[in-house]
Structure 1
Amino acid sequence: MKTVTVNIVTPDGPVYDAEVTMVIAKTTSGEIGVLPGHIPMVAPLAIGAVKLKKEGGQTELAAVNGGFIEVRPDKISILAPSAEVAETIDLARAKAALARAEQRLQQKQDNIDFKRAELALQRALNRINVQEGNI
């Protein structure tokens, strides 16, 4: 079975580097699946999970908070402001972030940046779903 190298990189450094048989990612215009040999492309990513299918049928998950996916026939690079593979996500911390974001949104005060709180909520939910495998 053919494979392609996938790198997920953040400003803090590399998060993932492995050979996979397929990548499924959520772009701003919808979900895409990329196989080895795919034509070159670049697409903006939405907050969401990246599914990394490996040989043998196993799937790994990574929580990505936006960024870009660059596809080349032999390599896929994901550049994101922040990303975590499922095993490294601190579930208690993600749930605390979710509670803080929900509280900010419920306060409905004029000085609260609504869009920022909404994005924090999406990021927290994404991390929780990836860590728990609810994708």
Structure 2
Amino acid sequence: MATFDLELVSPEKLLLSRPVEMAIIPAAEGDMGILPGHSPMIVALKGGVIEVRGGGQPAERLFVAGGFAEITPTRVTVLADEATPVDQLSRAAAAVRVKEAEAAYEAAANDLPEVREKAMDRLLSARTMADVAGAA
């Protein structure tokens, strides 16, 4: 089967760099499946799970807290704000992150809409992390 190169980079390290058959990314507009030959684009990412498939192996799942993806017909580069393999997520750490994000959102109640929107994005990302950590 045809493949494309996928690179997943976080500020800490290069997490993934290999040919894959398919990737599903949490684009800001909704989950997006990517196959070889995809149209070129740059998309913003929301907090969610990147699922990587290829080589007849079980899907590899990584949580990202946001970022951007550059897509070309032969390559996808994901620049994640934060990325962690789903099986390494901690339920306790996710619960703490949700509480902190809820407090930040409440504190932003009287701020500018842009500040509230950023706080809401952080809260939704934290809730997604908690959901994924709970299912792992």
| TM-score calculated relative to the size of structure 2 | 0.76
Q: Which residue of 2 aligns with 1:125?
A: 127
Q: Does 1:95 align with 2:91?
A: no
Pair 1:57–1:103, CA change in 2 (3 A): same
How far did 1:16 drift? 2.2
1:65-104 to 2 correspondences below 5 Å:
65-103=65-103
Deviations, residues 69-113 of structure 1 (Å, cap 9, x unaligned): 1112222110122122212322221112223333555689868x7
Which residue identity does 1:54 align to in structure 2? G
> Is residue 33 of structure 1 aligned with residue 33 of structure 2?
yes
| Structure 2: runs of 5+ lacking an equivalent | none
Residue 118 of structure 1 and its aligned partner are, at CA, apart by 2.9
User: Counterpart amino acid of 2:86?
Assistant: A
Q: Is contact 2:109-2:116 (8 Å) kept?
A: no
User: Do the aligned residues in 1 keep the contact of 2:40 with 2:71 (CA within 8 Å)?
Assistant: yes
Equivalent pairs counted in the alignment come to: 133
Moved more, 6-15 or 96-105: 96-105
Partners of 1:68 and 1:78 within 8 A in 2: yes
| RMSD between superposed Cα atoms in Å | 2.7
8 A Cα contact 1:97 1:120, kept in partner: no
Which amino acid in the other structure matches residue 50 of structure 1?
Answer: I
Structure 1 gaps of 5+ residues are none
Alpha carbons of 1:93 and 1:74: their partners in 2 closer, same or farther (altered >3 Å)?
same
Query: Counterpart in 1 of 2:16?
Result: 16
Cα 1:67–1:101 shift into 2, 3 Å: closer
- Residue aligning to 1:54: 54
Q: Aligned partner of 2:58: which letter?
A: Q
What TM-score do the two structures reach when normalised by structure 1? 0.77
